[in-house]
Structure 1
């Protein structure tokens, strides 16, 4: 498995999509805090205030990263490279899970890149502009930021698992890409549409859609003009359980489907 994952990592280092998204996050992580600081000032109540507030905009990651995952999970089928890999004795479960693990490493790297650069640029802007950086509520803000960061990673992993399952079923980049975009935008639309319904079972669906959960832990979910946040362990249990269940089901189904299909049909 190590040899296979090294080969996949080498492929990603040469992938222009990876380079493009990395450049986008690099520019956003450095330019956005400077632009906001120039417009609204660099003063911060504590060092984590700026980077914690920007987590509310992390929803755009769910448009960009699942799209890249669609290309990555299907490239072996489109290029035909999966055939010699499996024929050489590599187990299909290793191929499937190895792809997913590599994708998780990429996700983590991108999150650290964007938020790390944003934090550094915010602090640098405050330092060079002579703005004050307090220590009020620093511990609580850092705690909230780390929770939101971990939740974003978990939900991006859930989206990646869904895309992986679609890739193992369809095996065509264009079709998986269409599914990915329809799922993301459809989830957004259904979250808002179902939220207005009076049916109890539809309300349950609305309260547990992925986008609803993301908006809740990001601090931007409103219901009846009231901000609905998360507080206490009980509030975070469904937030964690929903993506964990999705990941487990999708990975099991993807491995099962890929393992049972004839290699000649790939």
Structure 2
């Protein structure tokens, strides 16, 4: 159990290996709306987890890219949906207006500076705008079509992509691997050993992060119980400090209306 806790704590604030920047479905929205809010600020656990890696510009870059990918996906599906509706002689004026607003948010995301002091606030505000507009689009669509037709359109657009979206995914994957590489070096530094070839294989895409974790488990499993407890305590203390810092950032944003971003380029 302790061995699992060591790796779990070590990677608790890592950027998601699987891109989080996917479209928001109805179940996710309902879950996010009913999430229990942490004490001290009104932001949900999901937001707290996301901004938890934004204590440097690399983490901020990842979150902004994930938001960019989500917007690209929603806009692409929205445009295709409008085309389908026009073929059905359905008025799409309001939907096109919402898509225009989403495109403006996308440009703001692309123009955001991940190294700026207010990067956390900018990310949270733009993400909220994106979610609200996406919900408006979905609610408007419900007024125009029945559930069966909506389900049919969603199925047709399920795996839709384009060059712009694929390029964004590639850039995102690159920076996520860089972030995870830093996490691995951090953990190896605490352990006192480094397997550079293993990290390089991960960075080059030859092995998965899960396989790297498996090798770490084997390494830690060979250590004494005292050494494992020492590693766990150091990682736990470090992550508690980061969690407190994240909560303070969110509280400052709520109380003073300004982001307490990192301002530290990677």
More helix by share: 1
TM score, norm. by length of structure 1: 0.30
TM score, norm. by length of structure 2: 0.30
